[in-house]
Amino acid sequence: MGSTGSYILRRVLYLIPVLLGVCAIVFLLFNVVAGDPTALLLGKHASAEQMAELKVQLGLDKSLFMQYIDIVKSAFTFDFGRSWSTKQTISSMLAQGAIPSLTLTLPAFVISTILAVLFATLVAYYRGKGIDLFVRISCIAMMSISSLVYILVFQNVLAYQLGLFEISGYEFGFPDFVPYVALPIIIWVVLSLGPDIRFYRTMILDEIYQDYVRTARAKGLSEKKILLKHVLRNALIPIITYLVNQLPFLLLGSLLLESFFSIPGLGGIVITALNSSDFPVIKAMAILSAVAYIVFTLLQDILYTVADPRVKLK
C-alpha cells in the first residue's frame, strides 16, 4: 500500500475515536445537561406515572451507559431511531429532506464559487485600478446588508410584485423543483459573492507578490500567463481549504432560505426539531455533521496532492 493509501487508512481509523468523543459530547449535552426531556414533552403538569410511561417509550429508562452505547451505535450504523414528534424513522426523514436541501445548496455553491473566482482573478489582474476599487467597495457594501434584507426584498419584488419566480413551496423531481429554488439560489449567490471575492482576491495577491512571480516576469512571461498558469495554481491550496470547509454545511441546508421559501429540506427539519425539543433528530444532525466534517477534511488533504504534486501525505 502506497503512502497515500496508508494515510487514508489512518484517517479512516482516526474517525473512530473522534466519533466516540462526539458521541460523548452529544450524550452529555442531551442526556445530562438538558435534564429530563419528558418534562419538556409533557409539560409541568404531567403526573409521575405519565413521565415514567413516556420514559419507557423513548428508551430513557435504560442506564446512562446503555443510552450512550445507543448513540455510538447510531453513529456507526446511521440508524437514529424514530423522531419523538413525527414518529417517523429519522434516517428516512433526513434522506427525504436532503434532496430539497441539495437541489438548493449545491447549484448555489457551484455558481457562487465560479463567479467569485472569476471576479477575484479579474480584480487581482487590474489591482489598484478603478475596477478593483469598485469591486472591493461593492463587496463591503453587500456584506454590510443583513441577509434578511436580501431575502425579504428579493422575495417581495422579484417573486410577489414582478412574478418572475415562485414565492414559496417545492416540487420533487427535475425540472419541477427549478422554479422554486431559482430565487433562493440567486439570493445565496448574492450573499456569498462579497466575502468570497475578498478572500480569493487576497489569496491571489499573496501569490502575485512572491519571488517566483518576479522571476517569471524577468523571463519575459506575460502578466496574464503568470496569473493563469502559475499564480492561480499556487493559490489553490488555501482556496481548496476554504471551499472544503464549507461543504459539510451544504448538507445541513440553509435554515433561513428554506424557512422563508417553505422548502422542506434539512434546515426546516432542524428548526422543527428545535421548536418541538425533538432530541433524537438534533442528535442525529450533530453526529452527521461531525462525520461529514471528518470525511471532507480527508477529501481536502487528497485534493492538496492533486493541486500541488509537491504535497505528500504522510
Could you list the pLDDT tens digit for every one of the 314 residues in the chain? Answer: 566 677 778 877 877 888 888 888 888 887 766 666 676 666 666 677 777 777 777 777 777 788 888 888 888 888 888 888 888 899 999 888 889 999 999 999 999 999 999 999 999 888 888 899 999 999 999 999 888 899 999 999 999 999 999 988 899 988 889 999 999 999 999 999 999 999 999 999 888 888 888 888 888 888 888 888 888 888 888 888 888 888 877 766 677 888 889 898 888 888 888 887 788 888 888 888 888 887 888 787 777 776 666 666 66
Tell me, yes or no, if the pTM score tops 0.85.
Answer: no
Instruction: Give residues with Cβ within 8 angstroms of 306, minimum separation 6.
Output: none
- Gap between the terminal Cα atoms of the chain: 13
Cα R_g (the chain), whole angstroms: 24
State the burial class of residue 306 (Cβ atoms within 10 Å of its Cβ: 0-12, 13-18, 19+).
Answer: exposed
**Which whole-number Å values give the CA distances from 107 to 15, 31, 120, 232, in the listed order?**
29, 38, 20, 23
Secondary structure letter of residue 162 according to DSSP: S
Residue appearing with cell numbers 416540487: 171
Neighbours of 181 (CB within 10 A): 26
